[in-house]
Every structure is written in C-alpha cells, then in structure tokens.
Amino acid sequence: MDDLTYAPVGATRDGRSPAGFDSFAVRTRIGTGPAAYRAATEAVLTFRMHRAVGVTIDAEGPRAAPGVRLVVGLGRRPLRILAPCRVVWAERGERRGGFGYGTLPGHPETGEEAFVVEWADDGVVWLTVTAYSRPAARWVATMGPLLGVFQRGYARRCGRVLRRLANVG
C-alpha cells in the first residue's frame, strides 16, 4: 500500500484523527435490532450505500476488503470529480462492521475516511462516518471552511440513505 498519499494509515479504524489533518465524525441512528444491523452492514460493505447517495463507485471488487482499489465519482459530467482510493481496512463482526479507505495519487485530498455500522448494547444501530484529510489540490484548499461543510453534509446524507436501505420493518 505504498502508493497511499498520507500517513498514518488505518487510524479511522479506532476513530483516531492524527495531528495535521482536519477531521470530523458524524453519527446517525439507523434503526434497531439484528436485522437492521445486518442490512446496514451489507449496504456499507458492498458500496450500495455510496451508490444510493448518488456517487459513482468503480471498484475492483464487489465488496470492501483490504487492498481493493476504487474510484469515487462526485458530481455530474463534465464537472465530475474523480477520487481514487484504496480500502485500507474492513471488518464484519457480530456488532460492528465497515471499512476505511485511503487516498491515492490523483485524489483532490490526502487522508482517510471510514464508514462504520455498530449495533449498541441497547439495540440501536448507528452509522459513524469518520475522516481526516487535508487538501492535495490547490482548488480544494481555496474552498476553506466550505470543504468541511460539504464533507459533513455528505456524511449526514450517508446516514439518511443508510437508514432507508436498512429499514427492515
């Protein structure tokens, strides 16, 4: 994974944000119970949530797994932004599942983003989107605080869409 554009790699797995990066975490309630957990985790790990949010995903494989390369497409042509990434960690456990991907050369930012579904002891299922990044392209740096507004808005949209996808009742 030596072509990743940042270090340290994998910090989102533990929800950490290294110094020198802008970071955020957005947590959204998805539903309750094992069926909601299973549906939400599957939607995250198969990139179904991302596609339903409205981004394009061109992935080397059908599921998030360490080493899988993907290109996320944001916006519409001719202004579509392409963001190459690689999955740096993935997990699917009894009560927690998700993955994190890191930026590759050509991505407008450097850093990592994670999408984690957790089934809490009280039965509630949550999605937490965590990221740390800094601009890699000059035009991204000119966005200033608006970049964080966009990123958090995207994370909230992921939660709303996943809630709909995981609605099993």
Q: How many domains does the chain have?
A: 1
Residue 40: inside a domain? yes
pLDDT at site 128: 97
SS3 124: strand
Residue 4: inside a domain? no
| pLDDT 10s digits, 17-64 | 899 899 999 999 999 999 999 999 999 999 999 999 989 999 999 999
Residue 125: inside a domain? yes
Residue 78: inside a domain? yes
Residue 6: inside a domain? no
HEC per residue, 8-73: CCCHHHHCCCCCCCEEEEEEEEEEEHHHHHHHHHHHHHCCHHHHHHCCEEEECCCCCCCCCEEEEE
| pLDDT 10s digits, 126-151 | 999 999 999 888 888 888 878 888 88
**Reported pTM:** 0.94
Distance CA 31, CA 167 (A): 7
Residue 62: inside a domain? yes
Residue 161: inside a domain? yes
Distance CA 138, CA 57 (A): 24
| pLDDT 10s digits, 72-108 | 998 777 778 889 999 999 999 999 999 999 999 999 9
Question: Which residue segment(s) compose the domain that 75 sits in?
Answer: 11-165
The CATH number covering residue 129 comes to 3.30.530.20
